[in-house]
Amino acid sequence: MRRLPFVVSLLVVTLILASSAFATSVSMTYEGHGTQQHAGYPYYFSINGSTQYTALICDSYDNSIHLGESWRATVTPFLQGVGLFGATTSLDYKAAGLIFKSILAGSTSDGAGQWAIWGLFSKNAANNKTFFASGGAAVEQQFLALAATAKNGAFSGLFLYTPIPGTQTGTKGLPQEYIGYTAPVATPEPGSLMLMGTGLIVLAIMLRHKLDRMQLAEARPEKV
């Protein structure tokens, strides 16, 4: 019982750390493209100084970056954040996420998928002749229809990297926003964490009350 305050503190810290895993901030440095230099996906980044580059896809055609530029970005799981173009629960963001997953699965070509995503958020991209020539226009319509009925589980593993204004090292405007993918691991949903936290708090209160009663009983003089 004497360890109760320590246990309660540990539980609180655990809940805080668990909740913080759903949104974080990272440092990004643009390291270039693959064989398709400056042709869209994949964009390669060093995240938090890592020498293992992360491949991301751009969704903001009208923004620009340059080789070696760095900035900070907020990273949020899909369906849980707000990006440059609104809530990630919007149909456009959902379609973009599904397109990216299709590219990763090899079902959609890099070029068509990249232009389709650009076209979702930019009139300039949607009016570009390459948007149609690459097949991006058709891909966009296909996945907008799929996104309308997609289950939340279809977006598992997708993350949005939204630039934080004023953190870029370059002299240009706001950097681009990106979508990434990390194979999901078994982690509790936010709702489950809240329920767990509520249960732990109730348990701590019950233990505290029991401790108070025991201390009160020990303090009473014995009858003779």
Residue 20, pLDDT > 50, answer no
Compute how many other C-beta atoms are within 10 angstroms of the C-beta atom of residue 44: 14
Q: Cβ contacts of residue 212 below 8 Å, gap of 6+?
A: none
Does residue 191 carry a pLDDT above 70?
Answer: no
| Bridge partner residues of 70 (DSSP) | 29
Per-residue pLDDT, 212: 62
Instruction: State the pLDDT at residue 117.
Output: 98
**Average pLDDT, stretch 18-30?**
73
The pLDDT of residue 16 is 40
Whole-prediction pTM value? 0.73
pLDDT value at residue 37: 47
Tokens of 116: 């389709």
Residue 7 banded pLDDT, cuts 50, 70, 90: very low
pLDDT band at 40 (very low <50, low <70, confident <90, very high): confident
Q: List Cβ neighbours of 134 (8 Å cut-off, separation of 6 or more).
A: 109, 111, 112, 114, 115
**pLDDT one-digit tens code per residue, 82-124:** 999 999 999 999 999 999 999 999 999 999 999 999 999 999 9
Looking at residues 189-209, what average pLDDT do you find?
Answer: 56
Q: What is the pLDDT of residues 137-186, one digit of tens each?
A: 999 999 999 999 999 999 999 999 999 999 999 767 899 999 999 987 65
Give the DSSP per-residue string, 113-150. HHHHHHHHH-HHHHTSHHHHHTTHHHHHHHHHHHHTT-
